[in-house]
Amino acid sequence: MTPRTFGIYVHIPFCVRACPYCAHNKITRWDEEVLAHYVEALLREARIWAGSLAHRPVESLYIGGGTPSVLPLHLMEKLILGLRSLFPGLEATRGERKPEITVEMNPEHVTPERIQHLQGLGVERISLGVQSLIPEELRFLGRTHQPAHVFRAIEILHRVGIPERSVDLIFGFTGQTLQSWEATLRQVARLPLTHISTYELTLEPGTPFWIKARQGAVLLLPERTRLAMYLIKEQILEEAGFPRYEISNHAQPGHASRHNLLYWRRQDVLGLGSGATGQLGARRYINTFHVRKYVHSLLQGTSPPRYQETLSEDQILLERVFLGLRLSEGLPLPPDLLERAVQTWPAWVEVRGGRLILRFPEGVFHAETLAVEIATWWKT
Ligand code: SF4
C-alpha cells in the first residue's frame, strides 16, 4: 500500500509587536540567541517524529507564526535544510508536483535578498499578513506596516519569481466601512497575486480586544454590515478572477493552498513548535504554549509537554463533514444522504459529481447547522 501523504506545519512564535486581536501563540521579547535555541529545538522535535514519518510523501511544509520573517537568513536556512534532510519526502517530486513550501512574512520584512534566499531553499509560496490597505485601519489593528510596504513586497515577490503569492485581509471591525473594505479589496485584486484569504474579525478570549470589549468597547461592526462585507468580498474577488474555494479563501484556478486543503480534507499534518497543533489519524495534539519550556525540554532530550487526545469515530466524522462542507468542491457523501440533503434544504445545497455543495449565500451561511445534521444522519 502506498504510504499516505502528509503536511508539516512549523510554528515560529516570535513577533515584533503583539496585535491586539491576535490569539496565536507568540512572544515579543526575544533575541537572536533565543531564536537559535528555538530552531535547534524544532529540529530535535522533527527528528523525534522522523522515525515514524520519514518514509511518507510530503505534500507541503508551512512555516507560520508568529512572524517567521523575524528569523535571520542563516536560521531559516538551518531550519529548512534540516527538515529536508529529516523528511526525504520534502525533496521528492511526484509527477510534476514538488511539495509546496510556504513561509509567512510581514510585508515590511520582504527584500529581494531575503526572497532570493528563500527561493534558493525551495520556498515557492509566500503569504503576507496585509489585513488592510487603509493606514488608520492598520493602526487600529496594531500592525507595524504601511500600505506602501505591501505594494513594494508584492512587486518584489513578482519580480523575483515567487509563483504563489498570497495575502490575508481582515474585515468587520469598528472604524472600517463598507467603502473602505471595498477600496482595499479592489486594490488588492489588481495586484499580481494568486491567492487571497479574508477573515472576519472575531474577539478571541484573552486578547486585548476581547478585554476591551468586556469593558464595554464596541469593536465589531453590526452583523448586517459584516454580512454585506462578506457579500461584497465575494463579488469583487470572483469578478477579478479569484473564485472562492473555501469559505474564507479565494485563489486563481490551480492556486489553492495545498497545505490548507490538507486541513479541510482532514488529512494528516505534523505540527512542530511551541503552540503547534498536529493531527495524525485519530490522534490530535497541541504542544505547550510556553516557549521556554518547549525549548528546554527538547534541549534536554525529551519531547515537549503537550496535550493530546484520541478522537472517536463520531468526532472524526463530524469534523470531516464540517470541514468538507466549507470547500467549494463539496463533500463526497453516500447517494442516500445526498438525496436526503437536497430534499431537506433545496434552496441551500446542490449535488454535483457525487458531492454535496453549499449554494451561495444561504447554504454557506448555514454551514455549521447543516454539518451537525448531516453527521447525525450519517452515523445513524
Ligand atoms: S497577527 Fe501576526 S504579527 Fe500580529 S501578533 Fe499575531 S502572529 Fe504576530
The number of beta carbons lying within 10 Å of the beta carbon of residue 12 is 28
Query: To test ligand 1's pocket by mutation, which of 16, 19, 141, 169 has the most ligand atoms within 8 angstroms of CB?
Result: 19
How many Å lie between the centroid of ligand 1 and the Cα of residue 299?
Answer: 26
Cα 13 from Cα 324, distance rounded (Å): 29
Q: Is the CB of 64 under 6 A from ligand 1?
A: no
SS3 of the chain: CCCCCEEEEEEECECCCCCCCCCCCCECCCCHHHHHHHHHHHHHHHHHHHHHHCCCCEEEEEEEECCHHHCCHHHHHHHHHHHHHHCHHHCCCECCECCEEEEEECHHHCCHHHHHHHHHCCCCEEEEEEECCCHHHHHHCCCCCCHHHHHHHHHHHHHHCCCEEEEEEEECECCCCHHHHHHHHHHHHHCCCCEEEEEECCCCCCCHHHHHHHCCCCCECCHHHHHHHHHHHHHHHHHCCCCEEECCEEECCCCCCHHHHHHHCCCCEEEECCCCEEEECCEEEEECCCHHHHHHHHHCCCCCCEEEEECCHHHHHHHHHHHHHHECCCEECCHHHHHHHHHHCCCCEEEECCEEEECCCHHHHCHHHHHHHHHHHHHC
Q: Among 180, 185, 174, 149, which Cα is nearest to 20's?
A: 174
How do residues 242-274 score in pLDDT, each as one tens digit?
A: 999 999 999 999 999 999 999 999 999 999 999
Average of per-residue pLDDT values in the chain: 95
How many Å lie between the centroid of ligand 1 and the Cα of residue 343?
Answer: 44
Residues 6+ apart with CB under 8 A from 148: none
Report helix angle 313-326 to 367-379, nearest 10.
Answer: 140
Average pLDDT over residues 333-356: 94
**pLDDT at 190 exceeding the cut of 80:** yes
How do residues 194-240 score in pLDDT, each as one tens digit?
A: 999 999 999 999 999 999 999 999 999 999 999 999 999 999 999 99
Q: In this prediction, what percent of the chain has a pLDDT beyond 90?
A: 92
What is the position in ligand 1's atom list of the atom closest to the CA of 23?
6
Topology, domain 6-264:
pyruvate-formate lyase- activating enzyme (3.80.30)
Which pLDDT value is given to residue 2? Answer: 76
Protein residue with its CA nearest to atom 6 in ligand 1: 22
Pairing of strands 195-200, 164-171: parallel
How many Å lie between the centroid of ligand 1 and the Cα of residue 63?
Answer: 14
Average pLDDT over residues 165-172: 98
Q: Is the CB of 65 under 6 A from ligand 1?
A: yes
**pLDDT at 94 exceeding the cut of 80:** no
Q: Is the CB of 249 under 6 A from ligand 1?
A: no
Query: To test ligand 1's pocket by mutation, which of 11, 12, 24 has the most ligand atoms within 8 angstroms of CB?
Result: 24
Average pLDDT over residues 53-68: 95
> Cβ(279)–Cβ(221) under 8 Å?
no
Protein residue with its CA nearest to atom 2 in ligand 1: 66
Minimum mean pLDDT among 34-43, 178-187, 371-380: which range? 371-380
How many Å lie between the centroid of ligand 1 and the Cα of residue 18?
Answer: 6
Q: Is the CB of 12 under 6 A from ligand 1?
A: no
Cα 103 from Cα 76, distance rounded (Å): 10
> Cβ(18)–Cβ(28) under 8 Å?
yes
Question: What would the grid cell of residue 286 be?
Answer: 497541541
Which amino acid, 198?
Answer: T
Average pLDDT over residues 289-318: 96
Pairing of strands 100-105, 125-131: parallel
Which pLDDT value is given to residue 378? Answer: 85
pTM of the model: 0.96
How do residues 110-157 score in pLDDT, each as one tens digit?
A: 999 999 999 999 999 999 999 999 999 999 999 999 999 999 999 999
